[in-house]
Structure 1
Amino acid sequence: MDRAGIGKVCLSLPGTTLDHPFGDDHDCYKVGGKMFVMVGGEGSVSFKVSEIAYEILTETGKARPAPYLARAKWVNLPDPDAWDDEELAEHFAIAHRIIAEKLTKKARAELGL
């Protein structure tokens, strides 16, 4: 999946916004002001995962710990084109849900979640 495809999938999730806090070459997809997917300047993608998914993806070598965000259970894919689009879209939806669930009831209601 390329940068445009990632954007299309992420922006289709409810309450998602696109931001560029690290420069125009980094796309950060947020829900309720909190990041759940980030595309780096060179095309790699990082996203939030569950603790179990983090262990499985990093131990099997399918993903690596995301720079600066690994302690928060984020993984990084240097080449998202090597992944199946449907599988990657599912991971993005899960990342969105993980972050959205941490929002306050009021924030979720305002976003229609």
Structure 2
Amino acid sequence: MSLFERNGFDAFVTGLPGTSFVDQWDSHVAKVGSKVFTLLSGEGTAARVVAKCPEESFEILTALDGIRQAPYFAKRKWVEIGGNSPLSDEELVHYLTRSYELVAAGLTKKLRQELGITQIS
């Protein structure tokens, strides 16, 4: 199942502890605690996934076709990954997991414990 389709996106995100969904900004938004860590917008060939990434990855990713700075998120190192990007499914899972970890690391220790988040890389 593709992460650029809602079923595949939801299946992946629900496997991460403490996640929830909300539909806002014309997108399907995944949060950990109350903080956004990824979102899915568009459908079919116009589908896009937005994720937070470390600065080094931001520079590498935005140099690839089909990946650009995410509108409204760019100053905080967020990327918008199009369905036509050269990333494999495995690489996309890696970047979405990393986005989750980066955002979850910013939560309080108490909230991470309440949400069942036991380990952050």
Q: TM-score, normalised by structure 2?
A: 0.82
RMSD: 1.7
CA offsets per residue over residues 41-87 of structure 1, 9 Å max, x none? 34211111111110111124462100110111000012168532111
Q: Flag the structure with higher helix content.
A: 1
1:96 to 85, 89, 100: 100
Matches within 5 A, 1:1-113: 1=2, 2-3=4-5, 4-23=7-26, 26-42=27-43, 43-61=47-65, 63-79=67-83, 83-113=87-117
Q: Which stretches of structure 1, 4 residues or longer, exceed 2 Å deviation after superposition? A: 59-62, 80-83
Number of corresponding residues = 111
Q: Which has the higher strand share?
A: 2
TM-superposed CA distance for 1:8, in Å, is: 1.1
Please give the TM-score of this superposition, normalised by the length of structure 1.
0.88
Amino acid at match of 2:25: F
Listed as ranges, the gaps of 5+ residues in structure 1 are none
Q: Which has the higher contact order (CA 8 A, sep 6+)?
A: 1
